[in-house]
Amino acid sequence: MSENCRKHFHRISEYLDGELDERICAEIERHLKDCPRCRDCIDSLRDTIRLCREGSEEEVSDDFRTRLRASLRECMEGR
Ligand SMILES: [Zn+2]
């Protein structure tokens, strides 16, 4: 995984901790568009990004969070 990809993964991880703003979300989304590898890897993250973009007030469930963290880790370790 490239440094650039890694950077975005870290940001997504920050989002899970509730530290991501809309602007960063847009950046991540843009990266996903340009990067097939990340896209494949983190299919499940798309829902997260959408949630963020829509500025949803909804709390992300623990289950969802746990699943996403697992995907992130798998991707970053290069499977
Ligand atoms: Zn990437």
Distance CA(26)–CA(78), nearest Å, equals 24
Distance CA(51)–CA(19), nearest Å, equals 14
Q: In this structure, what DSSP letter does residue 59 have? A: P
pTM confidence score? 0.62
For residue 65, pLDDT over 70 is answered with yes
Nearby residues of 8 by Cβ (< 8 Å), 6 or more positions away? 27, 28, 31, 32, 38
Which of 6-10, 16-20, 53-57 ranks highest by mean pLDDT?
Answer: 6-10
For residue 33, pLDDT over 80 is answered with yes
Ligand 1: centre distance to CA 20 (Å): 18
Each domain of the chain, given as residue ranges in start order, spans 3-76
Residue 36 or residue 49, greater confidence: 36
Residues in the chain: 79
Ligand 1: centre distance to CA 29 (Å): 10
Ligand 1: centre distance to CA 44 (Å): 15
Residue 9 or residue 53, greater confidence: 9
Distance CA(22)–CA(72), nearest Å, equals 20
